[in-house]
Amino acid sequence: MRTGKLGSPYAETIEHLQRRADGGSDGIHNLALACRSCNEGRGTMNWLVYATYKAGELSI
């Protein structure tokens, strides 16, 4: 997605599926595209739990 706006919450970012702080690598198998809002909003949550939450299938 190209928004043309720097700092837009919808701008693409590189997401580490397993956070580097939790031992995740920069390898291609551990990277995915995510909007800035999702990348920053996930915090310390596991990516699968966060994706399930964002899809409305889980209440936190």
Kindly state whether residue 35 falls inside one of the protein's structural domains: yes
For residue 46, is it within any domain?
A: yes
- Domain of residue 31 covers 12-54
- Asked whether residue 33 is domain-assigned, the answer is yes
Q: pLDDT tens across 1-59, in order?
A: 444 455 677 788 999 999 999 999 999 999 999 988 888 889 899 989 998 998 888 87
The verdict on residue 22 lying in a domain is: yes
The reported pLDDT for the residue numbered 3 is 43
Overall number of domains in the chain: 1
Q: Does residue 10 contact residue 3 with C-beta atoms inside 8 Å?
A: yes
Whether 28 maps to a domain, the answer reads yes
Q: Note the pLDDT of residue 6.
A: 53
For 24, the token pair is 């995740």
Domain membership of residue 6 (yes or no) is no
In a domain, 5, yes or no: no
pLDDT at 10: 73
Q: How far apart are CA 22 and CA 29, in angstroms?
A: 15
